[in-house]
A and B are shown apart, each in its own frame.
Chain A
Amino acid sequence: MKIGVGLPNTTPAGAPLTTEWSRRAETGPFSTVAVLDRLVYDSVDPLIALTAAAAVTERVGLATMVAIGPLRNSALLAKQAASIDAIAAGRLTLGLAVGARLDDYEIAGVEHGDRGRRLAEQLAFLRTGWGNAGIGPAPARPGGPRLLVGGASGRAFARMARYADGYAHGGGPPRAFAGAAARARAAWSACGRPGEPELWGQAYFALGDEDVGAAYLRHYYAFAGPFAEKVASANLTSERAIRNLIGAYEDEGCDQLILLPTVSDPEQLDRLAAIVA
């Protein structure tokens, strides 16, 4: 199992840290730097954050974990993703899902009711558009960047198996990941796809300043009511908690685990590197 780390693109005042964070991740034991996505929030656009990361790195993978696809025009998204992928020589993994917040849709003027259908169409477009519609630059790998799909409904798993290379899990205890992994594999098999879906997981951490981390998570998930407190209390705040989670996710067949920061301090990354290395 590979281990990636999140960029501070949604944590408070994380924007100026983007390049420094990326450089440290590049030299650390991390496979990927990943970003979250939210429109109505004090956060950096995921594709712009990844562009900045691409500019100062050469090795590490770049991933959206995930971006809210239906908020974006598919042709523009295809263009931007192809561009990052070309600049970064094929290091982009584009994770897409419908997201969980109505306000993002409202402000973007995008119909919320048919978000699933829009995402399916977008995925179909990306899968064919990079090759067929002439939207360049030419993808660094045949067919364009790797696609992941997130979501918990049966339809989300079907979209994943129909159009993507793997599944982006939204976080939770290992048991929840295991259940989702079984559903992803079942959907993959039902579609007659050769091989296996790539399985990506994610979890939040704070090594030191855990109250700051918890406050951020409560704020970030305030829209989700009582769920916010659950996310905050699941934050990984010790070396042991992180090791346990890594072990359990690996046992469940996770291919890549992204550990997302909750505190905007590059030292967090160094402390994590010491554990992961």
Chain B
Amino acid sequence: MRLTVIGAGPAGLYFAILMKRADQRHEVTVFERNAPDATFGWGVVFSEETLESLREADLRSYMDITEALAHWNTIDVHYRSELIRSRGHSFSGISRKLLLRILQDRAVELGVKSRFATEVTDADTFADADLVVAADGCNSMVRARYSRELGSRVTECGSKFAWFGTDLALDTFTFVFRDTEYGMFRVHAFPSDGRTSTFIVECDTTTWRNAGLDCMTERESMALCEQLFADVLAGHRLLANRSRWRSFARVSNDSWHRGNVVLLGDAAHTAHFSIGSGTKLAMEDAIALVGALDRQHDLERALVDFEMERQPVVERFQAAADESASYFERVASYAGFTPLQFAFNLLTRSGRISYTKLAVRDPQFARSLDSWFSTTARGGSADERLHIAPPPMFAPLNCGPLSFGNRIVLCPIHDEEGLDGAPTDHDARRLIDAARSGASLVLAAPVAVSAAGRITSRSLTIGGDRQARAWAQIVESVHDARAFIGIRLSHAGCRGATSPRSRGVDLPLAAGGWPLLSASPIPYTSISRVPKEMNASDREGVVRDFALAAERAASAGFDVVELDFAHGYLIGSFLSPLTNARGDEYGGPLENRLRFPLEVLDAVRAVLPRDRLIAVRMQATDWARNGLSTDDAVAIARALAEHGCEVHHVAAGQTVADDKPDFGRTYLTAVSDLIRSRAGVTTLVGGFITTYDEVNTIVGSGRADLCLMNMGPRPSGSVPVQASMDRHRVASVSFPSTAGVG
């Protein structure tokens, strides 16, 4: 084949080497706009896995690379003048300059032709080549040329960074978080070769401007950074090599090829530098492309094969890199964390390392975290530290009047079998099972504060004596199982008078409905009835209903009363500008929109005995345009706390029916993190949490305090290890039939 490679970075050179190696008859020419020795950047990082692939792909260059590799296994986190160290991570790195020299030499040895200092902007110049490989980096000219056909997307990250070197020889991956008079700066530093290290300085745009970095020369900005990090540099200098400040550009493409042109490495995709995977992905791309060309003789099929192999891998790295980048953008909100938890939060930021993974890599770190977490949770001081401590999910939580035994909450789904609002035997069994399964809190939800506040004709209520007696019996059994029990008091508002949920949600009753109330007369869906805008006497009635229901719940023995202020139900409808269009003192600015919800909270607080805990299920985002802003949500959380809310159960979406939710595993954790870190409140979070590892990671990293789990959905009391004669299956353990409403 006649192959043209544009760009002599690691991706292009490695591809050229592997093609020549596969078949000497291939004619491979590499074009590079710079001179051979004009390389930029400092060190690159490889994982064990990548090194293994390099070994299999070309032993010769692998040997040279390993000769020059620096190895380290430690991550240091400098935060608030403390150093937290985590071991067992196993990194390898090499200076980029050296890597390129090894690859250049190998390419020459194999007969690859190189044209340095030759700029190529148009792949059409090589229309006669069998394949044109565009390995021309994140600013790829070739990609720009075909951006429409390739579906290219390039977005700039909010932070600013500059890529320096230093003559300080690090032997750890080093993160530095430094509060300065300008704002917070971050350093990502790691070994480059035995003598120098990479030293990336990053900050948000405001900090960057405050520090005057927008108007400084390279030399001036380097001097400022040297001064800011003088302690870490310990007398060493920073080194510049095109170290200008810029924003990270995230590149992705729907397709990586068009005709005989294929994108490779950074030209096809970039992943934020904070997970250090750019060169690794680029070289793996080269291996995959050569493999695909070998397998498939038809070029189009080979390129499709290549994309199918690489795109899912790259997408996973990009997703992790996005999480990591967004962590660094919001990191200032974790300023209140103790250094150990701060470090754990940092290590688990991208989702690639969980509590369990970290415990395998660094058992000592996990033990320290467990010990610190449990000791703090018990209110102990540093010298009372537990040496044998359970993982975070089994640490107690003292909250208001209650002391939870662990961090697990279960909320069995009500299946609406009963006719009069009283819990059925089935409801009772599921709540009691949930308590017996070991959760510290079980939630009965939703329970309407009045007949008019029911969601469906079969909703649970606490209105009459029969209902109250049934609840009291359940409460007693749950207490016998040594768990707390909570009740979520709800008024459906504009989402009321619907059919039972077995067939769907928000389906209005054809007959036997009742009048609906809401902040404003806006129907929930296209087939929903128009609710009545609440007037003063409606408000008084609803406040009274909530207070009365809370009193009944307290008499029935409930430990926790959770008020439902979310999901477009009655109280939530006042909070969001999407559902509240009122012109009076209950509508308009947030202060007004909060007025009625706070009246309800105050009334409940006034009647509820002090030994019961008040929680509020609150909206953190509407997932809809012009809905609650982040600042609104934080302000709501603070106001609720001031009025006596002790646990914030964070919810999202459903304020309006046509919201744009983002479902998936642990999908509410990010909003809980936001509310908890910015408003400084105790949070309960659901959102499809299904594993203990998720709970330990979420709770341990301070993203929530309590987790509402979705346990195995199928009812099964025992431990079924499924065996099958015809096919191997993984043994699975089922849990009692409890599923959570997040």
Who on chain B is nearest to A117 by CB? B658
Chain A proximity of B217: nearest CB distance (Å): 45
| Contacts A120-B525, A124-B527, A179-B664 given; does A190 touch B741 at CB 8 Å | yes
Query: Does the CB pair A161–B727 fall under 8 Å?
Result: no
Query: Does the CB pair A189–B525 fall under 8 Å?
Result: no
Question: Main SS of chain B's interface residues?
Answer: loop
Stretch at the interface among B186-194, B225-233, B279-287, B298-306: B298-306
Neighbouring A residues of B660 by C-beta, 8 Å:
153-155
Q: Judge if B720 is at the interface, Cβ distance under 8 Å.
A: no
| Contacts A190-B742, A233-B305 given; does A226 touch B255 at CB 8 Å | yes
Q: Judge if B62 is at the interface, Cβ distance under 8 Å.
A: no
Distance, CA A193 to CA B526, complexed state (A): 20
* A: interface residue count bin: 35 or more
Query: Does the CB pair A189–B729 fall under 8 Å?
Result: no
Q: Judge if B381 is at the interface, Cβ distance under 8 Å.
A: no
* Interface residue tally for chain B (C-beta within 8 Å): 53
| Contacts A128-B510, A154-B660, A186-B665 given; does A226 touch B505 at CB 8 Å | no
Distance, CA A195 to CA B661, complexed state (A): 21
Distance, CA A179 to CA B662, complexed state (A): 12
Who on chain B is nearest to A155 by CB? B660
Query: Does the CB pair A124–B740 fall under 8 Å?
Result: no
Query: Does the CB pair B304–A229 fall under 8 Å?
Result: yes
Chain B proximity of A4: nearest CB distance (Å): 19
Distance, CA A26 to CA B665, complexed state (A): 39
Query: Does the CB pair B741–A192 fall under 8 Å?
Result: yes
Neighbouring A residues of B687 by C-beta, 8 Å:
186, 190
Distance, CA A191 to CA B413, complexed state (A): 10
Chain A proximity of B29: nearest CB distance (Å): 26
| Contacts A229-B300, A233-B308 given; does A154 touch B504 at CB 8 Å | no
Q: Judge if B713 is at the interface, Cβ distance under 8 Å.
A: yes
Distance, CA A157 to CA B653, complexed state (A): 13
Contact with B along A1-36 (1 / 0, CB 8 A): 000000000000000000000000000000000000
Q: Judge if A131 is at the interface, Cβ distance under 8 Å.
A: yes
Query: Does the CB pair A226–B304 fall under 8 Å?
Result: yes
Contact with A along B585-616 (1 / 0, CB 8 A): 00000000000000000000000000000000
Distance, CA A247 to CA B663, complexed state (A): 26
Chain A proximity of B146: nearest CB distance (Å): 12
Choose one: A116, A125, A182, A189; the contact of B739 (CB below 8 Å).
A189
Q: Judge if A183 is at the interface, Cβ distance under 8 Å.
A: yes
Distance, CA A226 to CA B415, complexed state (A): 46
Neighbouring A residues of B661 by C-beta, 8 Å:
154-155, 157-158, 187, 190
Q: Judge if A208 is at the interface, Cβ distance under 8 Å.
A: no
Distance, CA A173 to CA B308, complexed state (A): 10
Distance, CA A189 to CA B688, complexed state (A): 8
**Which 4 pairs show the lowest CB-CB distances between chains A and B?**
A186-B688, A194-B415, A186-B663, A229-B304
List A residues at the B interface (Cβ < 8 Å): 116-117, 120-121, 124-125, 127-128, 131-132, 143, 153-155, 157-158, 161-165, 173, 175, 179, 182-187, 189-196, 225-226, 229-230, 233-234, 247, 251
Besides A121-B526, A154-B660, A193-B501, 9 other A-B contacts (C-beta < 8 A): A120-B526, A120-B658, A154-B661, A162-B657, A165-B503, A193-B413, A195-B502, A233-B304, A247-B727
